[in-house]
Amino acid sequence: MKPLLFTLLIISIICGACKKDDKVIPDPVITSSALHDDLLFVNKHDFQITTSEAATYSSSDHSITISASGLISRITSGEVVIVNVNWPRTGKMTKLYVLGSTDDEHVNPFEKYHAAASDNPDGQYIQGWATLRKLAESGQTYFIVLRHADASVGFDYNLGHQDPVIPANWWKSCDSTLARQLNPQGITRATELGVALKDLKMPITRVISSEFCRAITTAQLINSGPSITIDKRINHPDYLKTGETLFQGLQHIISETPVDNKITLVSTHHPINEFNDSGIPTFPKVSVYNWTAAFFVKVNADKTFTYEGAASFGMFKYWRDLKLNRV
């Protein structure tokens, strides 16, 4: 064999061997089935994150307890936290966003005011996440039914007094000796939620609040644009004199609202989330409903309406950041 041909043969053999050895290994990924559209829904204690290859985990957020092996022993219900996933093979790190999709792992002060627990928080949060992601561009008529922001300052007058004469309009007062008011976190979260809704360009054309100062203050801090309409039919049960439930009051409001493919923001209270045996298709018995959180109602052209899931404060903020490429 001529030297040139022999050399070319050797080179081709070496190159062929190189190609076989130069196999491309795909980047590691999260494989947990509870990962939905970039958000991991943790619906139980001792939840194990699964991945395509070995990883170590950590988080500086006090709302979560997670081991280096990815076992989440607890996470506060409704909170969205960041978990750092470190990949030893590549030396890279992934930020994983995790939601506590339960309704039985709360902390004070909210734990004191939690009320009835949801019958399916995980499913409601997953449905709400899908609704939230399409809401601004849906071109349909929706209600965002918000529980007022975090409120633990003071207490409602009728709960702590047996006075023969109760102060007039105490429930409307912004004095914490007469009615419960927003705490510092509530003020911060209501303001931040308003910024997130604006950043997401939510087409909110109507804002309705109960008569309670904490609900009105929440709507004011959100500052979504439209003037606030006050409606006693969605007052807290501490002062709800219509003879109907909050949910019945909401149904009346929905029936009176035009189907105009816009969004109505409602600032109200529990137990508007307790539908129980309403008989309305798609509505659960109880929706998950934290402070500064909401459930969604879609109104159809014939004025029928459907429950479209729930979203916590952290979900609103995370979706804004994800959509605007801030994560």
Distance CA 318, CA 313 (A): 9
pLDDT digits (tens, 9 = 90+) for 255-271: 999 999 999 999 999 99
Smallest Cα–Cα separation from 142: which of 246, 251, 235, 254?
A: 254
* Range name among 2-16, 177-191, 195-209 with the lowest pLDDT average: 2-16
* 12 pLDDT tier (thresholds 50, 70, 90): low
What is the three-class DSSP state of 202? Answer: coil
Q: What is the pLDDT of residue 242?
A: 78
Taking a C-beta distance cutoff of 8 angstroms, is the pair 93, 86 a contact? yes
pLDDT tens digits along 58-83: 999 999 999 999 999 999 999 999 99
Q: In the prediction, which pLDDT does 158 show?
A: 75
What percentage of the chain reaches a pLDDT higher than 90?
Answer: 83
pLDDT score for 240:
73
Tell me which residue of 225, 218, 221, 321 sits closest to 264, measured CA to CA. 225
Q: Which amino acid is at 265?
A: L
**Domain spanning 110-323: CATH 3.40.50.1240:** yes
d(CA 59, CA 43): 18
pLDDT at 22: 63
Residues pairing with 35 in the sheet: 40
Q: Which is it for the CA torsion 272, 273, 278, 280, positive or negative?
A: positive
Is residue 49 over pLDDT 80? yes
Can you point out the beta strands (E) in 35-91? Answer: 35-36, 39-42, 47-48, 56-58, 64-66, 71-75, 80-87
- Residue 243 is predicted with a pLDDT of 84
Preceding peptide of 284 cis, ω within 30°: no
Tokens representing residue 312 in the block: 């916590």
Encode pLDDT of 130-172 as tens digits. 999 999 999 999 999 999 999 999 988 876 666 667 888 999 9
**Four-CA torsion 160, 163, 166, 170, nearest 10 degrees:** -20
